[in-house]
């Protein structure tokens, strides 16, 4: 079972797209690749105020990742704590994973010709820090949640 | 080895505190200062890392070779560029006198340095960008309270109700303020938002008034009417501190909620319900008096009305209200030293102080220099140094501006990027970007004042210099070294901090030094001396305005409806760009490569324009730009809206070049359209024609 998830408090989110850039800047990603996305529904008027709900999507770190099973070089693996990781050494940049993932999450890093995807900032998580998007969210709307089994 | 640097962001002029980690002269981590912002930063703040590497910014001094704006530059060394500028300045001084120089900046905590340079040179003509931003708000505050717009900070966190008129704070981000507002809302506080369109801020509102463009003043008047009628105001506060309240009561009688509802296109019962809420929430109701209010002909009076609403709430100097900022003196501590030179005793060329006596003499009014350039009266303006300031982006009608600037013999731009004005200048002196430079220490006033400083995180990538050094080098060559005696930033810091007993090392731990542990509040029963109007009271009828022949309580005049087929052109911000500064930043460009034209669904369908189609936007003189339409229900049909800063024409900015549309270029003939009472420009008083563009092809023949 996955140990972590990223939760968006949509009441606090202001759709500023900061998280997207925090992530890109941290991973030094070139033009094109984007690992998380903020989106919202079309506005509807509720009690005279046009409103919408924001959504945050990175990688679902699936239980049985489609991206991993299709990868011809077995570059994608799932850790004990649920985080789905790509091994850049093994990745050949074929991007079969992007086609297999229902949400098109895997991105091509054009500079390296390697796949890149959200890894919950595993390097930070492993030293007790929170993912970048969570740490730097403009309004502290994102939370990194450790799931507990009941 | 990893280096930890506390500094200040420079992607917009909010200057949020940041913490930077540097390894081998590379920024490896950048976040909001954990002590003040808990790490939070906006998209622009993170995109600062892309600016370091951006090779589409000026990389060494440039001296113009071809005609102005032709883009033929000679790469020059710094000493060559400094010599070039100072030789020209000396010649201009000899021929026309020192007062023919104007130094402009955007403003900010270091403007003392630029002002000192200007004054030391012998010119009184220091100015900043504020006549296209907060001047109306500033003068409104001065006229009511005797203190400028920075004379209050808003304790939003502890308020119960925040009322914003077009202050789109979740796009024009100030992170500390945004966090406060979110916390307030999460505690169940209210947010009332008034605008001509729905925005990110309006989405968070508990009440939203979509008003007809230009009718803000009407709505504020009806609020005052209803509060007075229901006697909700803080009578004790008013009796003690306010003059001419009776006149306000008489003036306001005709401006009923029913009248305003009709005028603004909102529901009367919403206004009444809003006042019910105010009654519940007061005195912790903050009527934000506006930030950028260089908009409508009566924005100054709308801002005055908002200040008066705060006075009626009695929210001054209370928790959850408007708090007077405190400085080192209030903490019983000595202040820091700053660059200074008294203003030469010469009339300002913009007329502020002698022709226009009711305006703040500090930065004067930038747009009034154009007349001096064109006519040579009261005396010629022949040289302009723009420090981090882009008149062609900030002010309307760059074409008309160019005709005026052509009367100058020297135009200099000091900036980190190519500004539109810089591209037209004779010399570009490239400043190191904010992560590459140190700045002097500055005081951050507030309920808990502190000292803060910007520190260099990485060495400059290109042959650029920090601002302090540029002014120092210019000053040296003009024999003004007495005013700029320090040759290193360490010397400047030491000299600034000497009276305080602090050293720059004291900033190492957190990036700032707090001057007090506790919030300092003045005794609300004896605010005498704090209200700095001529009478020492909060003036409903401002004696300064009266002396200038201006009304304090101006009867409302309904704004004209746009002529048939035309729309009022309204502009604003997005959370991912800072006006024209960031359009070419590769990370931000990727998020928002161009702007769109917001247009009301009903109107668009009449024009046969669908979402995403290209429209022509045509100015009064036929000047035309093209832009994609964003068709939405959530904008008033009388106006169209676009995000400011796009439509740039600097060829070396390959991403921003001609991306999107520039609102200011459509404001033809608007350079002289300004408010005699508030001093601000009326930037939302122009009308444009919109039509479906021929650029939406039906057929396409290849070969
Ligand atoms: S940074 Fe935070 S507030 Fe901004 S869009 Fe992302 S989640 Fe929302
Ligand atoms: S990339 Fe797609 S398929 Fe793979 S784990 Fe993430 S969401 Fe699942
Ligand atoms: S968790 Fe890390 S990798 Fe994933 S979206 Fe957030 S910042 Fe990017
Ligand atoms: S609001 Fe954003 S760009 Fe402006 S100073 Fe703060 S972090 Fe920087």
Task: Measure in Å the smallest separation between the Cα of A135 and chain B Cα atoms.
Answer: 6
Residues B163 and B312 reside in one and the same domain: yes
Tally A–B CB contacts below 8 A: 108
What is the full DSSP assignment across B630-650?
Answer: EEESSB-TTEEEEETT-SB--
Residues B319 and B373 reside in one and the same domain: no
Residue A1, Cβ density class (10 Å: 0-12 exposed, 13-18 middle, ≥19 buried): exposed
State the distance between the two ends of chain B, measured CA to CA, in whole angstroms: 60
Residue A123 has pLDDT above 70, yes or no: yes
How far, in Å, is the centroid of ligand 4 from the Cα of B175?
7
Q: Which tokens in the block code for residue A104?
A: 């098109």
Q: Which ligand is nearest to the CA of A68?
A: 2
A138 vs B41, B202, B204: nearest CB: B41
Provide the β-strand partners of residue B3.
B22
**Contact at CB, B42 and A18, closer than 8 angstroms:** yes
Asked if residue B561 belongs to a domain, the reply is no
Q: ipTM score of the complex?
A: 0.96
Atom of ligand 4 nearest to the CA of B11: 3
Asked if residue B438 belongs to a domain, the reply is yes
Residues B298 and B355 reside in one and the same domain: no
CB proximity B204 to A under 8 Å: yes
Q: How many CB atoms lie within 10 A of CB B327?
A: 15
State the distance between the two ends of chain A, measured CA to CA, in whole angstroms: 12
Asked if residue B46 belongs to a domain, the reply is no
Residues B177 and B301 reside in one and the same domain: yes
Domain harbouring B687, CATH code:
2.40.40.20
Portion of chain B with pLDDT greater than 70, in percent: 100
Total domains in chain B come to 3
Residues B529 and B506 reside in one and the same domain: no
pLDDT average, residue stretch B132-151: 95
pLDDT average, residue stretch B655-674: 96
Domain harbouring B303, CATH code:
3.40.228.10
Q: Which residues of B touch A10 (CB under 8 A)?
A: none
What is the full DSSP assignment across B74-102?
Answer: EE--HHHHHHHHHHHHHHHHHHH-GGGEE
Measuring CA to CA, which residue among B297, B248, B306, B257 is closest to residue B552?
Answer: B248
Task: Measure in Å the smallest separation between the Cα of A62 and chain B Cα atoms.
Answer: 27
B702 confidence band (pLDDT: 50, 70, 90): confident
Residue with tokens 């591209």: B423
Residue B446 and residue B693: Cα distance in Å, rounded? 51
Q: What is the mean pLDDT of chain A?
A: 96
pLDDT, one tens digit per residue, over A94-117 is: 999 999 999 999 999 999 999 999
The beta strand positions in A20-103, using DSSP E, are 37-40, 44-46, 49-51, 54-57, 76-78, 84-86
- Classify domain A4-146 at the CATH class level: alpha beta
pLDDT, one tens digit per residue, over B468-527 is: 999 999 999 999 999 999 999 999 999 999 999 999 999 999 999 999 999 999 999 999
A71 lines ligand 3 (CB under 6 A): no
A148 confidence band (pLDDT: 50, 70, 90): confident
pLDDT, one tens digit per residue, over B604-614 is: 999 999 999 99
Spans of all domains in chain A: 4-146
Q: Which residues of A touch B207 (CB under 8 A)?
A: 48-49
pLDDT average, residue stretch B612-635: 97
Asked if residue B48 belongs to a domain, the reply is no
How far, in Å, is the centroid of ligand 2 from the Cα of B8?
38
Pick among B28, B30, B46, B631 to test the A interface (most A CBs inside 10 A): B46
**Contact at CB, B203 and A43, closer than 8 angstroms:** yes
Residues B96 and B176 reside in one and the same domain: no
Task: Measure in Å the smallest separation between the Cα of B505 and chain A Cα atoms.
Answer: 27
Domain harbouring B476, CATH code:
3.40.50.740
CA atoms within 13 Å, Cβ hemisphere of B360: 26
Residue with tokens 């320090």: B486
Q: How many CB atoms lie within 10 A of CB B508?
A: 12
Residue B667 has pLDDT above 80, yes or no: yes
Q: Which residues of B touch A48 (CB under 8 A)?
A: 207-208, 270
**Contact at CB, A18 and B575, closer than 8 angstroms:** yes
pLDDT average, residue stretch B590-612: 97
Asked if residue B49 belongs to a domain, the reply is no
Residues B366 and B417 reside in one and the same domain: yes
Residues B80 and B123 reside in one and the same domain: yes
Residues B356 and B449 reside in one and the same domain: yes
CB proximity A42 to B under 8 Å: no
pLDDT, one tens digit per residue, over B527-564 is: 988 999 999 999 999 999 999 999 999 999 999 999 99
Residues B356 and B490 reside in one and the same domain: yes
Residue B703 has pLDDT above 80, yes or no: no
Residue A73 and residue B222: Cα distance in Å, rounded? 70
**Contact at CB, A138 and B634, closer than 8 angstroms:** no
pLDDT, one tens digit per residue, over B232-246 is: 999 999 999 999 999
Q: What is the mean pLDDT of chain B?
A: 97
Q: What are phi and psi of B119, to 5 degrees?
A: -65, -40
pLDDT, one tens digit per residue, over B51-98 is: 999 999 999 999 999 999 999 999 999 999 999 999 999 999 999 999
CB B638 within 8 A of CB B212: yes
Cis link prior to B559 (omega < 30° from 0)? no
CB proximity B11 to A under 8 Å: no
What is the full DSSP assignment across B183-208?
Answer: HHHHTT-EEEEEESB--HHHHT-SEE
How far, in Å, is the centroid of ligand 4 from the Cα of B180?
15
Residues B531 and B508 reside in one and the same domain: no
**Domain coverage including residue B466:** 62-132+351-512
What lies within 8 Å, CB to CB, of B506 at 6+ separation is: B513
Model pLDDT, residue A150: 66
SS3 content of chain A, % helix, strand, coil (to 5): 20, 25, 55
Q: Which residues of A touch B171 (CB under 8 A)?
A: 16
Residue B362 and residue B340: Cα distance in Å, rounded? 13
Residues B191 and B309 reside in one and the same domain: yes
Residue B340 has pLDDT above 70, yes or no: yes
Residue with tokens 């660059």: B339
pLDDT, one tens digit per residue, over B289-308 is: 999 999 999 999 999 999 99
Residue B215, Cβ density class (10 Å: 0-12 exposed, 13-18 middle, ≥19 buried): buried
Residue B254 and residue B224: Cα distance in Å, rounded? 11
Q: Which residues of A touch B2 (CB under 8 A)?
A: none
CB proximity B586 to A under 8 Å: yes
H helices then E strands: how many in chain B? 24, 27
Residue B678 and residue B298: Cα distance in Å, rounded? 9
């Amino acid at each position: 079972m996955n140990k972590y998830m990223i939760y968006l408090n949509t009441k606090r989110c202001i759709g500023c797209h900061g998280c997207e850039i925090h992530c890109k800047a941290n991973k030094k990603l070139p033009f094109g690749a984007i690992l998380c996305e903020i989106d919202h529904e079309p506005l509807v008027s509720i009690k005279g105020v046009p409103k919408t709900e924001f959504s945050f999507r990175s990688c679902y770190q699936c239980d049985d990742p489609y991206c991993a099973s299709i990868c011809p070089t077995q570059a994608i693996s799932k850790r004990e704590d649920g985080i789905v990781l790509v091994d850049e050494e093994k990745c050949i940049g074929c991007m079969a994973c992007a086609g297999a993932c229902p949400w098109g999450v895997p991105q091509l890093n054009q500079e390296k010709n390697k796949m890149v995807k959200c890894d919950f900032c595993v390097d930070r998580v492993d030293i007790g820090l929170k993912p970048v998007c969570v740490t730097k969210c403009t309004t502290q709307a994102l939370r990194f949640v450790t799931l507990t089994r009941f | 080895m990893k280096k930890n640097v506390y500094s200040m962001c420079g992607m917009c002029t909010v200057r949020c505190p940041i913490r930077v980690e540097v390894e081998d002269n590379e920024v490896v981590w950048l976040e909001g200062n954990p002590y003040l912002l808990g790490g939070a930063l906006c998209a622009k703040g993170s995109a600062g890392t892309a600016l370091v590497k951006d090779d589409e910014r000026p990389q060494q001094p440039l001296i113009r070779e071809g005609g102005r704006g032709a883009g033929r530059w000679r790469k020059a060394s710094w000493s060559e560029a400094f010599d070039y500028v100072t030789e020209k300045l000396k010649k201009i001084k000899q021929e026309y006198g020192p007062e023919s120089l104007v130094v402009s900046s955007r403003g900010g905590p270091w403007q003392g340095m630029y002002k000192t340079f200007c004054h030391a040179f012998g010119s009184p003509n220091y100015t900043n960008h504020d006549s296209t931003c907060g001047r109306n708000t500033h003068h409104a505050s001065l006229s009511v309270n005797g203190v400028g717009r920075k004379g209050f900070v808003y304790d939003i966190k502890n308020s119960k109700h925040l009322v914003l008129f077009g202050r789109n704070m979740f796009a024009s981000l100030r992170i500390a303020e945004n966090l406060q507002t979110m916390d307030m809302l999460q505690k169940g506080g209210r947010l009332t938002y008034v605008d001509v369109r729905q925005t990110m801020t309006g989405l968070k509102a508990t009440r939203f008034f979509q008003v007809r463009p230009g009718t803000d003043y009407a709505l504020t008047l009806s609020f005052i009417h209803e509060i007075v009628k229901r006697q909700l105001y803080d009578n004790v506060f008013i009796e003690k501190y306010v003059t001419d309240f009776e006149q306000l009561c008489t003036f306001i009688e005709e401006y009923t909620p029913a009248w305003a509802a009709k005028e603004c296109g909102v529901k009367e019962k919403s206004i009444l319900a809003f006042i019910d809420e105010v009654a519940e929430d007061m005195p912790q109701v903050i009527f934000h008096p506006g930030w950028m209010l260089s908009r409508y002909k009566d924005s100054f009076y709308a801002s005055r009305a908002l200040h008066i609403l705060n006075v009626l709430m009695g929210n001054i100097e209370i928790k959850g209200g408007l708090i007077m900022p405190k400085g080192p003196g209030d903490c019983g501590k000595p202040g820091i030293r700053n660059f200074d030179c008294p203003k030469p005793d010469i009339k300002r060329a913009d007329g502020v102080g002698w022709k226009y006596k009711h305006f703040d003499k500090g930065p004067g009014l930038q747009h009034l220099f154009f007349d001096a350039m064109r006519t040579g009266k009261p005396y010629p303006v022949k040289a302009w140094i723009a420090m981090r300031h882009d008149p062609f982006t900030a002010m309307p009608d760059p074409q008309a501006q160019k005709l005026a600037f052509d009367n100058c013999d020297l135009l200099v731009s000091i900036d980190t990027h190519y500004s539109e004005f810089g591209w037209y200048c004779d010399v570009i002196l490239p400043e190191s970007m904010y992560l590459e430079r140190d700045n002097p220490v500055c005081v951050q006033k507030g309920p808990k004042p502190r000292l803060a400083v910007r520190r260099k995180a990485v060495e400059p990538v290109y042959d650029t210099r920090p601002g302090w050094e540029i002014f120092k080098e210019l000053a040296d060559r003009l024999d003004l070294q007495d005013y700029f005696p320090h040759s290193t930033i360490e010397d400047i810091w030491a000299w600034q901090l000497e009276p305080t007993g602090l050293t720059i090392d004291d900033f190492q731990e957190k990036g700032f030094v707090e001057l007090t542990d506790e919030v300092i509040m003045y005794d609300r029963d004896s605010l005498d001396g704090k209200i700095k109007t001529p009478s020492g009271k909060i003036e409903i009828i401002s004696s300064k305005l009266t002396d200038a022949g201006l009304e304090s309580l101006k009867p409302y005049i309904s704004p004209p409806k746009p002529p048939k087929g035309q729309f009022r052109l309204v502009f604003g911000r997005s959370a991912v760009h800072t006006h024209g500064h960031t359009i070419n930043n590769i990370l931000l460009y990727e998020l928002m490569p161009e702007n769109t034209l917001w247009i009301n669904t009903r109107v668009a369908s009449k024009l046969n324009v669908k979402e995403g189609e290209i429209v022509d936007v045509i100015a009064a003189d036929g000047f035309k730009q093209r832009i994609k339409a964003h068709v939405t229900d959530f904008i008033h049909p009388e106006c169209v809206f676009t995000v400011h800063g796009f439509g740039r024409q600097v060829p070396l900015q390959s991403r921003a070049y001609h991306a999107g549309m520039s609102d200011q270029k459509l404001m033809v003939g608007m350079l002289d359209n300004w408010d005699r009472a508030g001093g601000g420009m009326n930037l939302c008083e122009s009308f444009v024609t919109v039509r479906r563009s021929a650029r939406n092809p039906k057929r396409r023949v290849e070969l």
